[in-house]
Structure 1
Amino acid sequence: MTTQPTPPAEPEAGDDPTHQGEDLSSLLTRLLSASQGRTQKDLATEAGVSYPTLNAWMNRTRGTSRIDPERLRAMVEVFRRWGVRTTPREFFEAVGRPVPGPSRDEREARLLKLYRQLPEERQRALIKDAEAMLQVSRIG
């Protein structure tokens, strides 16, 4: 079986060493400054966070270690919609939390990308394998 070389991974926004060690306040300040015309209120509204809470994070008057992971992911998605490159890794590191594995959407996107790269016969085989795995998981 021949394999095609894998292209080098595109660097993640969080891989920039100049931003390592950044806390949430610094991260949000940097990303908001890159978001032309967007405000803390815009971010709070679109990410489903109350403005007073977001403002307290920005002013470092409220702790960030207990922020719901989905709130962190929501802020990532808002910035991405605004055209600002960022990653969940940046947010989780900024609040001093371990970075969880990829989200379901990220896993699905990766699977679809791999599937599309396969020849048609391998795509069919992959579907049969997935159906078999589903059957086994229902039994066990």
Structure 2
Amino acid sequence: MTNQQSPPGDTDTGHDPPRRDVDLVTLLERLLAQVPGRTQKDLAAESGISYPTLNAWMNRTRGTSRIDPEKLRSMVEVFRRWGVRTTPREFFEAVGRPVPGPSGDEREARLLKLYRQLPEARQRALLKDAEMMLQVSRIT
């Protein structure tokens, strides 16, 4: 089990400062060691990441700071299916990024409904604002 455990449904979105003592490679090696018989290829296949990409992360020949948040969440879910307790927080901290808030179908549907009601110029402005918010959140 990992040091930071929480129930499987917990997205753990607190505001603790990111830990920099564990990078993604260290985290993945530790979690893979908890599932004998599972390999990097298994993780890549089940999480929808190409094996060459995952292998490049593991060999530290490709950076991890810009990994799509959904790929990080996907790896969390794969490890959970394999019986390993882990959290999105561990993965986001391992790549040096703040943990995004939980996304739920209801919240996303509400946002999409509001977006579709806006005139085109306002839709473009909303997208631009959202992109700026994301950039600022990555800096701070």
TM-score bracket, shorter-length normalisation:
0.5 to 0.7
Higher helix share: 1
Identity of aligned residues (%): 75
Q: Tell me the secondary structure at the aligned position of residue 29 of structure 2.
A: helix
The higher relative CO (CA closer than 8 Å, separation ≥ 6) is in 2
Q: Tell me the secondary structure at the aligned position of residue 46 of structure 1.
A: helix
1:12 is aligned to 6
- Unaligned runs of at least 5 residues, structure 1: 1-9, 108-136
- Aligned equivalents of 2:85, 2:20: Cα separation in 1: 15
Q: Which runs of 4+ in 1 moved over 4 A?
A: none
Letter paired with 1:41: K
Larger Rg: 1
1:110 is aligned to none
**TM-score, length-scaled by structure 2:** 0.61
The alignment status of 1:46 with 2:46, answered yes or no, reads yes
**TM-score, length-scaled by structure 1:** 0.61
| 1:31 shift after superposition | 0.4
**Cα-Cα RMSD:** 2.9
Instruction: Give the conservation status (yes or no) of the 8 Å contact 2:72–2:91.
Output: yes
- Unaligned runs of at least 5 residues, structure 2: 13-18, 108-113, 118-140
Worse-superposed segment, 71-80 or 94-103: 94-103
Distance 1:41 1:102, change over 3 A: same
- Aligned equivalents of 1:60, 1:78: Cα separation in 2: 22
1:29 is aligned to 29
- Aligned equivalents of 1:96, 1:51: Cα separation in 2: 22
Size of the aligned set, in residue pairs, is: 98
Letter paired with 1:21: D
* Cα deviation 1:89-129 (Å, max 9, x = unaligned): 00000000111112327x9xxxxxxxxxxxxxxxxxxxxxx
